[in-house]
Structure 1
Amino acid sequence: MSWPRTVPLQTDRLSLEPLAVGHAIEMEAALAPPDLYRFTGGQSPTLQELQSRYARQVQGRSEDGSAGWQNWVIRPARGGPAIGFVQATLTQDGTDLVADLAWLVTASEQGRGLAGEAASAVVTWLTSIGVRHLRAAIHPDHLVSARVAQRLGLEPTLTVVDGEVLWAAVVAADPHGREIGQAVGR
């Protein structure tokens, strides 16, 4: 499968840049606050871990080609250091494209709707390239991420994987090219 290339995206307040290995230096600082791992576990990655991870991710696909990787670094539209990321792992389910989404905004920038704004820009782009199924795994106590998922049109399902609830939606284009979201069955 030939996966789409990650493209730059822009919102009123944010610039989403396709991930590059060079982003590791500034992302190390953005990912440093321990509170970021309250719901996901783990700890902040080292510079070397980020460089290694990003070197794999910028390839744009899994080693076997079964998944496409779309990764963006979020920064203020006016410039400045990176403040987070959005990622989408694309897979094929029959003839349908599925995107598993994840987002994170550094602790000092939280509470301003930036994660939702960035993730919405990514979802708009994903649906424009034919993605029709959206999913996100969210810890049941992570109310802020749940609000972001709701903003994207996702709803919680009864599926729980590794302690996280799967949120999902089916997105279809209407005849005028606008996106219409519909939560999937519980």
Structure 2
Amino acid sequence: MRPLSTERLDLVPLRVEHAEEMTGVLADPALHEFTGGEPATAEQLRLRYERQVAGSPDPAVTWLNLVIRLRGEDRLTGYVQATVAEGRAEIAWVVGTPWQGRGIASESARALADWLRSTGVREIVAHVHPAHAASASVAEAAGLTRTDTVVDGELRWRWVTTAEGTDASYR
């Protein structure tokens, strides 16, 4: 995948070398409040990134992993990702605590979702903890609409294109 750019951000394909800087970006235990777990060490991230960069072992599934570079500060601030299969993409995002509240997650998720739509993806979903208002705002900014479906305790947000055209949930 090629890099994506927005007004303030560059979304750059993940490289194993990003692990060191991303360890600091993802170091705050508060980032795991809704998802569980704890911050990864640099070595754990390196191993995870090696697997992600290698790509999905299933040839019918594509993994897209992009780190978010804030141009004004020339530093990584988080990541967005998508798993794509059969015209459907599931997206996720994380922005480090020091950069939250600045629209970085919304801008990044919107750029990724728009790019996915431009490639012919017909459905985009995200799963957001019901108490995570900031992530719900990001999902909405990406053009997704909250559904009543709950998966593993999280609400599904969705955008879909129908035979008649784009679902009204995309704004």
TM-score (norm 2): 0.92
The match for 2:141 is 151
Letter in 2 for 1:14: L
Letter in 2 for 1:63: P
- Report whether the alignment pairs 1:129 with 2:119: yes
- Report whether the alignment pairs 1:32 with 2:27: yes
- Structural RMSD (CA): 2.0
CA displacement, residues 43-88 of structure 1 (integer Å, 9 cap, x when unaligned): 111111111111111123x212232100100011235221000000
1:9 aligned to which of 4, 7, 13: 4
Letter in 1 for 2:136: A
The match for 2:85 is 91
Letter in 1 for 2:40: P
- Report whether the alignment pairs 1:183 with 2:169: yes
> What is the 5 A alignment of 1:33-182?
33-60=28-55, 62-92=56-86, 97-171=87-161, 180=166, 182=168
The match for 1:19 is 14
Identity of aligned residues (%): 46
- Structure 2 regions of 5+ residues with no counterpart? none
Q: Does the aligned pair in 2 maintain the 1:76–1:82 contact within 8 Å?
A: yes
CA drift of 1:98 comes to: 0.6
How many residues end up aligned between the 2 structures? 170
- Structure 1 regions of 5+ residues with no counterpart? 1-5
CA drift of 1:180 comes to: 4.6
